[in-house]
Structure 1
Amino acid sequence: MAPALACTRVTRDANGAETPRIEAPVVDRLVMQVVLDGAHDVFISGAQVPGIRIERTRLMRGERYQRTLKSEWGLSLHLEAQAGPETRRYLLDFGYTPEALNNNLDLLGIDLAAIDALILSHGHYDHMGGLLGFLARHRDAMREDLRLYLGGEDAFCYRHAPAGNGAFADAGVLDRRALAAARVRPVLSEAPLAIDRHAFTTGAIPRAGIERVLPNTFVEFGVRDGAGCDPALYRNHHFTPAELSGQPQPDQHLHEHATCFHVRGRGLVVITSCGHAGIINSVRRARQVSGAEKVYALAGGFHLAPAPDDYLARVMAELKALDVQHVFPMHCSGANFLEAAKREIPQALVLCTTGSRFTFEA
């Protein structure tokens, strides 16, 4: 089945600024399964939240009692959305290692042959490290016309981690040649995009508020050794001489995107994965491009672990003003965010762990 992609139109806000808009699909049901996160808590509360069914994966039983879910620094989510008689399934991000990802997919009983498409939030290794090993093991069982949705060319850049004294260590690269060898077709879009009449992406997220990209990796713009990102393929970015020098620059995640669903009668579910562009910016962008105002849930990594106290306090104040009904912090959100959420928005906070499964229904 060919992918159903909604056309993007452009509107203008009250200040005359252009805002891309799409006809965001509406689903009747969304199931979000945490395939891989930083911890597996077998004692985590199974308490229910009105309007959301919460299921926790405890220890394995029967013949599998000697195996357990693996957790690591990374994130992977299985998403199943139903609209009328149609159901679509996606795997969003792939954790740090294929060993942990493949182990958990097996134990959770996820039908990989039924996956309709793959989505990558951005080009960090803790979100893409398991991808090629996952494909090596499972590609032949999956649909032939397998697509990988990405926010833009930025996902293919070489990335580097500071190693001290001005030196850098290799932090990985997503190689187009490896995807081609695995018969996976990348679909890049800096504009918002509707996928299969079920999901939609925000496209590039403007940095319009108080949030900034907190320190993380460095990025290298350019192509070498057959891999990397091509500055000529970016849509609306004017590169500086420093950025074009081939030397690592602070990573701004120019085209990291959020994956979203509009659940009928509930509102938007916005999944930030890492949220380097800012969780407030991500939510506002999802509302702008979809035209839906109500945000039912914000989920994923919020990248607030390295946030200074004053910065976190400002983000929390903005989050409270957005009136998001449910908040599901994962991955890089940080113990500091969890403590602040318990104090500031306890009624909205839903704890997550590897194996947790959340169902949103109209």
Structure 2
Amino acid sequence: MLTPVDCVEFLVLVDNSLDSLSSVPKHVSLEWPRLMRHGMKELSGEGQCCANHGLSLVVTARRGGVSHAVMFDAGPENYVLERNAPRLGVDFSTIEGIVLSHGHWDHAGGLPAAIRSTVSAGDGRPIPVFVHPGMFRQRALTLPSGTILPIKAIPNPSELMDLGARVISSAQPQIILEDYFWISGEIPRVTSYEQGFPGHLRRSEDGASWEADPLIIDERFLAVDVRGKGVVVFTACSHAGVVNVLRHARDTFSPVPLYAVAGGFHLSAANERIIPETVADLGSFGLTVIAPGHCTGWRATNALVRAFGEDVVTPSAVGKTYVI
């Protein structure tokens, strides 16, 4: 089981939006002050980060005088990660592992850049990349017209190893880096209304056809236990349903309470219909921090703020840093 840490800090390296003007609570800081600390001398478009449809977090946990850091997902492409990281002062030499949440391009497209950067900063040492064996079949979407739109395949394990990764593939839960971080196994689907990603497909085993894949069973989440507060859950897309994610975390870590959840809640597009049930059930977890981003959608974010207030809900944006 996890050993509690003193605090956890996470930097939003890639997300769908930017927001350096909205006020934030004390545990959150904005992009522009961080850019200035890391060399921005004047405010300009060139000096700022960019947003893209995807997610990447740099999560640092501290206990005593010892810190460990992982990258949780790598965003949709190399460019956005390579643009944002130096502007935000990301020190790739401190990143000891990359955790991939699931096999979608918007979370894995930037893996080549992430691996190259961490390996280079580590003097050529391979970087552990934690994956699920089911992540590597190509996926697709069914459009309203019935047309199948393929999703770009993510780098396969051989390609990741060629880049300098030490690929650790498992469907089971894992505790890593001196018990600082917990990577979930497959997430139980319990609620009646969280039914995955409607219209989502994957390649058949023989590669000759497409088959329905709404549940995206390869999805996992990351967790850290902060002493005196509780468990912080990082969920990249919540294809399992954010309530299912949090139920699994609560069941796993009980009696330690849940404290925070951050990431994508996948309550946009067809899943807007389950916003009321999701928001109602989120109230049962007693969360102190909710940081919705990426695929959550503005309607769900608005509903969360109305239900839990601005002291609890602080939407994610590129360059924001949360300290818990």
Opposite residue 178 of structure 1, the aligned amino acid is E
Which stretch shows the higher mean deviation, 344-353 or 304-313? 304-313
Residue 214 (1) aligns with residue 197 (2): yes
What is the distance in 2 between the residues matched to 1:260 and 1:223? 35
Match of 1:356 among 310, 315, 320: 320
Identity %: 26
Residue 107 (1) aligns with residue 91 (2): no
Opposite residue 196 of structure 2, the aligned amino acid is V
Measured at CA, do residues 165 and 337 of structure 1 come closer, stay the same or move farther in structure 2, by a change above 3 Å? closer
Uncovered stretches (5+) of structure 2, i.e. residues with no partner: none
Residue 54 (1) aligns with residue 28 (2): yes
Residue of structure 2 equivalent to 1:241: none
Deviation at 1:91, TM superposition (A): 0.8
Residue of structure 2 equivalent to 1:5: none
Residue 271 (1) aligns with residue 234 (2): yes
Residue of structure 2 equivalent to 1:80: 60
Residue of structure 2 equivalent to 1:169: 150
What is the distance in 2 between the residues matched to 1:183 and 1:336? 41
Deviation at 1:223, TM superposition (A): 6.1
What is the distance in 2 between the residues matched to 1:258 and 1:113? 23
Residue 326 (1) aligns with residue 263 (2): no
What is the distance in 2 between the residues matched to 1:149 and 1:116? 11
What is the distance in 1 between the residues matched to 2:24 and 2:267? 26
TM-superposition CA deviations, 1:82-122 (whole Å, max 9, x none): 12232101111111111111111110111101211111000
What is the distance in 1 between the residues matched to 2:67 and 2:19? 30
Measured at CA, do residues 221 and 84 of structure 1 come closer, stay the same or move farther in structure 2, by a change above 3 Å? farther
TM-score, normalization: structure 2? 0.90
Measured at CA, do residues 292 and 135 of structure 1 come closer, stay the same or move farther in structure 2, by a change above 3 Å? same
What is the distance in 1 between the residues matched to 2:99 and 2:7? 19
Residue 25 (1) aligns with residue 8 (2): no
Deviation at 1:248, TM superposition (A): 3.3
Opposite residue 181 of structure 1, the aligned amino acid is D
Residue 38 (1) aligns with residue 16 (2): yes
Task: Tell me if structure 2 keeps the 8 A contact 1:25–1:200.
Answer: no
Q: Classify the secondary structure of the residue corresponding to 1:332.
A: coil
Q: Classify the secondary structure of the residue corresponding to 1:118.
A: strand
Q: Classify the secondary structure of the residue corresponding to 1:62.
A: coil
Q: What number of residue pairs does the alignment pair up?
A: 313
Residue 89 (1) aligns with residue 69 (2): yes
Residue of structure 2 equivalent to 1:303: 266
What is the distance in 1 between the residues matched to 2:198 and 2:91? 37
Deviation at 1:280, TM superposition (A): 1.0
Task: Tell me if structure 2 keeps the 8 A contact 1:55–1:357.
Answer: yes
What is the distance in 2 between the residues matched to 1:270 and 1:334? 19
Match of 1:338 among 301, 308, 315: 301
Measured at CA, do residues 200 and 138 of structure 1 come closer, stay the same or move farther in structure 2, by a change above 3 Å? closer
Deviation at 1:36, TM superposition (A): 0.9
What is the distance in 1 between the residues matched to 2:308 and 2:244? 19
Residue 125 (1) aligns with residue 105 (2): yes
Q: Classify the secondary structure of the residue corresponding to 1:24.
A: coil
Residue 67 (1) aligns with residue 30 (2): no
Measured at CA, do residues 330 and 304 of structure 1 come closer, stay the same or move farther in structure 2, by a change above 3 Å? same
Match of 2:180 among 192, 198, 211: 198
Residue 312 (1) aligns with residue 275 (2): yes
Task: Tell me if structure 1 keeps the 8 A contact 2:118–2:127.
Answer: no
Which stretch shows the higher mean deviation, 288-297 or 100-109? 288-297
TM-superposition CA deviations, 1:207-263 (whole Å, max 9, x none): 012322032631124266xxxxxxxxxxxxxxxxxxxx7423234211210100000
Larger Rg computed on CA atoms: 1
Deviation at 1:158, TM superposition (A): 1.2
Deviation at 1:183, TM superposition (A): 2.3
What is the distance in 1 between the residues matched to 2:108 and 2:54? 9
Residue of structure 2 equivalent to 1:181: 162
Opposite residue 29 of structure 1, the aligned amino acid is C
Task: Tell me if structure 2 keeps the 8 A contact 1:159–1:173.
Answer: no
What is the distance in 2 between the residues matched to 1:87 and 1:336? 37
TM-score, normalization: structure 1? 0.81
Task: Tell me if structure 2 keeps the 8 A contact 1:218–1:251.
Answer: yes
Deviation at 1:169, TM superposition (A): 2.5
Uncovered stretches (5+) of structure 1, i.e. residues with no partner: 1-22, 225-244
Residue 257 (1) aligns with residue 220 (2): yes
TM-superposition CA deviations, 1:176-212 (whole Å, max 9, x none): 1211101212212222211112010121100012322
